Amino acid sequence: KWEVKVRQRNSGDVQTELADYVFIGAGGGAIPLLQKTGIPESKNLGGFPITGQFLICTNPDTIAKHDAKVY
């Protein structure tokens, strides 16, 4: 289990939650949050800017060659 401490920005209150899984999404703070976990996978990461633009392929032949969606 993961123990996640969340601080409310407005009040400063801190609450603790237990979770089986934690997803750290994209954004400017994602890498520092991941590095705070201390897990080995959090080292040697790099980031790239997210523009919010989705690039979509509509060619069925190309789509059939890929087994994963990449964001």
Domain range summary for the chain, segments of one domain joined by +:
2-64
| CB 21 within 8 Å of CB 2 | yes
44 backbone φψ class: left, alpha, beta (φ>0; ψ -120 to 50): left
> 50 versus 6: which is more confidently predicted?
6
Cα four-point dihedral sign 19, 49, 45, 38: negative
**pTM for the predicted model, two decimal places:** 0.42
Handedness of CA 13, 38, 48, 62 (dihedral sign): negative
Predicted pLDDT of residue 38: 83
H helices of the chain, where?
A: 30-36, 60-64
pLDDT tops 70 at residue 70: no
